[in-house]
A and B are shown apart, each in its own frame.
Chain A
Amino acid sequence: MVSKSEIEGEKLLHHLLGQTQDFGGAFSCITGGMGGGKTSAMFSWMVYNLKHYPTQKIFFSETYGAPLQCFKLLSKIPKEKLHFLVMENSNVVFRDRKKHLQEVNLNTTHFKSIPIINEEEEVIGYKPDYQDLYDKSIPGKVNIVFFGNRLLWMDFMRFLRHTGDWVHIFIDELGEIVPAGTNGSNWKRVGSFANFAKDIRKCMMKVTCNTQAVRDSDYRVWDKFMFLVFLPGAMQDAKHSRVTQSAIDNLRANPFNEAYISSKGSFGKIVFTDVFNPTKDYNIEAYVPHNLE
């Protein structure tokens, strides 16, 4: 017997992961409590794209100062599938938390940076050369990119809209990319990104983010999510989804994580059957001593 929620769940997944001009790209957000399986859910879709669309580029944005989540992927894919890209002059280093923060070499590829010069012709910082980054990224691999400043992902996504290719962007902790409660130039920057986010679908970009709660990110971005995924421990978003809090509270987390996927007033239930466990390298962190902007 197949339930309606199962049918709806599959239908919405088809829209989210399929690649037809009708559906276009997708901007989706996965929410859930700590340890609720947000990263595993995101990795399921990441490996799905890796397996079924090996000629397309996948970009992954990691957080700084915490074990790199990408090493959990190694429980399902070989190490060669991870490709680390670091911006020149970004001062990003990788440290082993189990060896007193000793620096480690992850065979990174460096992409060019462009100096930012002030009126006195002094170099006050660096900005990424996105074209060089895009050229150096490899299809069929997970390209894990470090700018040294996570806000630059807004600009990178804006760049990717012009490539004309199907691209996949996965963002861990969206609240660090489009933070809530900004002011000054960052307020305008986030507003500009929110304005651009409406074009993600048209530009064949599949952007998948995760965050503990939607309200961790700027409210102007909330309306732009095409798909919302609620994992166990998530908070209801009554304005954008029909999924109620009690329904979320009844989601099971054992043996596999159940989730509600919601879009445009309809919703269905899915079960993530792939588990991504920590591997031996799951103690390496990315560290940047200071922001460059």
Chain B
Amino acid sequence: MSKSRQIRMTHEDTILSQRELSALMKRKIQSPVLNDKQREQLPTILAKALLSFGSESDEIFFTDDGVLNLGSLHTAILRLTDWAIAPEIVVKQRGIEFKVNISKLWLHLYNRCLDWFPKALGESLRYSKEVMKREESTGHNFSFEDKI
């Protein structure tokens, strides 16, 4: 596995990401559990969560020779809803491919930022986490090909 790096953010990145997330929310998150006011607040909330995520985590993104900016996280967020199908996605940014572990990203959001979300969405996310827990096997994979 390639070397992990701290995400480096600039003010420009933050503004860009918030704008992208705003657009994303309008396009993608049409959750029926939210009322109009909550829906309006959601982009800011999620951007805040991601800022926290970006500044604290150094184990989510793996790259040999690049730095992932916060803006490209929107692709990851696009997949948040179907993380069970693709637990790891590749995000292309400035010609470099970054591997994003959606499960870890989600766990971080859940553990650190759940309080910032509206209650209804929080419940929905909590349920998603439980599903994810069930999907992930905690056993040692055995194959006759591998020497114990």
Contact = CB atoms under 8 A, between A and B. Distances in A.
B143 A273 contact: yes
B145 A6 contact: no
Contact of A273 (B138, B142, B147, B148): B142
A269 B140 contact: yes
B141 interface: yes
Contacts of B32: none
Contact of A44 (B138, B140, B142): B142
A51 B145 contact: yes
Contacts of B147: 52
A48 B142 CA distance: 10
Interface string A244-278: 00000000100010110000000011111110000
A238 to B, nearest CB: 22
A157 to B, nearest CB: 24
Nearest to A43: B144
B139 interface: yes
Contacts of A93: none
B98 to A, nearest CB: 20
Interface residues of B, number: 11
Interface in B47-100: none
Interface stretch (A12-20, A148-156, A179-187, A284-292): A12-20
B144 A51 contact: yes
Contacts of B138: 3, 5-6, 269
B148 A258 contact: no
Q: In terms of DSSP, what is the predominant structure of the interface of chain B? A: loop
Contacts of B142: 13, 44, 270-274
A138 interface: no
A56 to B, nearest CB: 15
A6 B140 contact: yes
Contacts of B139: 5-6, 9, 258-259, 268-271
B140 A270 contact: yes
Interface in A65-87: 76
A48 B144 contact: yes
Interface size class of A (residues with CB under 8 A): 20 to 34
A271 B136 CA distance: 12
A252 B144 contact: no
Nearest to A14: B148
Contacts of B140: 6-7, 9-10, 13, 268-271
B148 A47 contact: no
Interface in B102-142: 137-142
A76 B142 CA distance: 15
A45 interface: yes
Nearest to A272: B142
Contacts of A274: 142-144
B57 to A, nearest CB: 14
B62 to A, nearest CB: 15
B144 A271 contact: no
Q: Give the interface centre of B139, B144, B147 by most chain A CB atoms within 10 Å.
A: B139
Contacts of A13: 140, 142, 148
A39 to B, nearest CB: 14
A256 to B, nearest CB: 8
A269 B142 CA distance: 10
B143 A17 contact: no
A271 B137 contact: yes
A9 B140 CA distance: 6
Nearest to A76: B144
B134 to A, nearest CB: 8
A270 B144 CA distance: 13
A270 B139 CA distance: 4
Nearest to B142: A270
Interface of B: 137-145, 147-148
The 6 closest A-B pairs by CB, nearest first: A269-B139, A9-B140, A48-B144, A3-B138, A47-B144, A271-B139
